Amino acid sequence: MDQNTKNYALVTAGYWAFTLTDGAIRMLVILYFHLLGYSPFEVAMLFLFYEFFGVVTNLVGGWLAARVGLNLTMHIGMSLQVGALLMLTVPDSWLSVFYVMTAQALSGIAKDLNKMSAKASVKTLVKHDSDSRLFKWVAILTGSKNALKGAGFFLGAWLLQAFGFRGALVILAGALLLVLVVTWLRLPGEMGKSNAKPKFTQVFSNIPAINWLSAARFFLFGSRDVWFVVALPVYLYEVLGWSFMQVGGFLAVWVIGYGLVQASAPKLIRGHRPGGRTAVLLALLLTLIPATLAWALGQPWSPAVTLIVGLLVFGVVFAINSAVHSYLILAYADNDKVSMNVGFYYMANAGGRLTGTVLSGLVYQYLGLTGCLWISATFVALAALLSLRLPPVRSNIQGAVST
């Protein structure tokens, strides 16, 4: 195993550990604060700062990583997540909406620093002419991350039931701190540091393909979170009468399956190099799924069966679409500005999640799950339209698309 492969394995392991805590803390907050009597919209608002500061972090984080290195920004993210977990261990009387939003802001900054650093690291660890390895490595990293985020949902629900809210948080913080120390000592400090010291104004991409892809990413992830973040778990708990463990376990299995499909994307589209046309076709197919699901929930059929089938189909198509996006951003990125290009792209991703999260609570409260699904279909259709401007991937993509 060469050194680059070893470093990739370390980056992936650190990302896995962080992702478990990220999924767990989300499920803990949703279930615990719903139990405390928070409305769906109020629960959504708890994540407002989480998503908002994700937008800011991706914008600034890419520039910071280019100056100080991806190793440092990744471990700053881990440290902030440990702090965010411990912030929520205070007594219930301290847990005001603003206090929890502040803790979630730290968690949002942590998540996006860690994600941007891990994804950008892959580009630095792959030879410039190895497109197939780049697609494979980024698909494995992204897919395994999502599978473990699903495991984190289950872990959070189980820890809440077994150890209580605060006990769960202490266990998660201690485990992540241990991983932080190991990866900090083993990864090279210069990883991802730019040869030049870029100015902050350079964070905005001058590569048209990245701008169009980022806009499509905004609506793609908004389409998922508008019904998945708050509306779906509350619907399963309130309307279908599922227990915490059933809700957490089902969402965990779905996200794990979604992640496995995402990691397998290179095999599923073997023989075809993903490009702009691939993203368009996948988005058009995805548009049909929430629209059909919204219609089906109005029919005299079992809502549980309808949701399970619809979620399985949505998860497969969304996972492949997301994997293609994750490959395209690295393929389009400038080698010497990869962290800034990736940061800009994930800023759009975080913006879509922010919009989707707020709408998930607001629309569900007034229009129910069906209303969230119709908005989801609209968002995916917009992603398809924006993807029409994406070029194919060429071997020298920077020169091909930056004019």
Cα(340)–Cα(116) distance, rounded to whole angstroms?
9
Q: Are 173 and 42 in contact (CB under 8 A)?
A: no
Residue 401's pLDDT is: 34
Cα(131)–Cα(123) distance, rounded to whole angstroms?
10
To which residue do tokens 């779906």 refer?
Answer: 232
Parent domain of 152: 3-401
Q: Can you list the residues of the chain whose pLDDT is less than 70?
A: 1-4, 62, 65, 123-133, 135, 188-205, 270-273, 334-339, 394-403
Would you state the structure tokens that stand for residue 360, as one six-digit string?
Answer: 């998930």
Would you state the structure tokens that stand for residue 18, as one six-digit string?
Answer: 């962080």
Residue 398's pLDDT is: 40
Scanning 128-193, the segments in alpha helix (DSSP H) are 131-186
What are the two backbone dihedrals, phi and then psi, of residue 198, each rounded to the nearest 5 degrees?
-65, 150
Cα(87)–Cα(250) distance, rounded to whole angstroms?
28
Q: How many CA atoms lie within 13 A of 36 on its CB side?
A: 15
Q: What is the pLDDT of residues 317-368, one digit of tens each?
A: 998 998 899 888 878 876 666 667 777 787 888 889 889 988 988 899 899 9
Residue 54's pLDDT is: 75
Angle, in degrees to the nearest 10, between helices 48-68 and 97-125: 40
Sign of CA dihedral 3, 9, 12, 18: negative
Closest CA to 158 of 309, 7, 327, 27: 27
Cα torsion through 137, 142, 145, 147, rounded to 10: -100
Residue 335's pLDDT is: 63
Number of domains in the chain: 1
Give Cα separations from 54 to 63, 100, 346, 354 (angstroms). 14, 16, 8, 8
Residue 67's pLDDT is: 73
Closest CA to 28 of 226, 166, 149, 175: 166
Helix (H) or strand (E) holding 398: helix 397-401
Q: Are 34 and 160 in contact (CB under 8 A)?
A: no
CATH number at residue 154: 1.20.1250.20
